[in-house]
Structure 1
Amino acid sequence: MNFALWICTGLLAVVALAGGVTKTFVPKEKLAAAPGGGWTADAGAGFVRTLGVLELLAAAGLILPAALDIAPVLVPVTAICWVLLMIGAMITHGRRGESTAVLLNLFYLALAAFVAWGRIGPEPFTG
């Protein structure tokens, strides 16, 4: 189970890192023109960058606390925060009629919920 949790955590961290880098460093106009990025046309540049920074922090918070054994409780906390972020993403994409994006966000939400449940319950980082 620990191995499955690490795989899910790693996948979420890669997704968060990719999304964070894109939202933080790619101009909003370019994001709005990209597939799945149409929602950014309706959002302020500061909001998009803030989401990007939050995603970068999520990538770090999913991996570093456990890998460095410094406050590993932050891993399930970060996973819970990711669940909340995905709920917001699902609402945003749902309002725009982007069902594929909603399903992808639901998948990420399920992974994050699994990580949170697993690290709080059966496989915590305590030893």
Structure 2
Amino acid sequence: MKKWVRKHKGLLIGFMIASVVVSFITAIQLHVLLDNVADLQYYVQTGEVTASMYQYSIICFVNLIVAIIWIVLLFLLIWKVIFPNVTTVKNAFFLGELAFLIKMPASIRKELRRKNEQ
């Protein structure tokens, strides 16, 4: 386990930093939302966006981008845990058998041509 952590130290650090950033931006987003409840009610009733709601929408957009980065890092981390090396990926998805099946029509065609030539 220690060897795996040392090997994927950069991924783990990136995931931790992304987690902290997502949490921090979400806290800011909730604070801005709760400060602008009246503007939000005005937007719901009239459909007009006030200047303070623009700030909230920008924070939501930034949070969305950082959350997507966090999700990608989470998937990479899970992938690295489930499949620690290339051979386990090849064995799990039967890549050797798939390559054999892909080459099979060409090899059958080659054998048939050889038999027809004889």
Name the TM-score, length of structure 2 as normaliser. Answer: 0.33
Larger relative helix fraction = 2
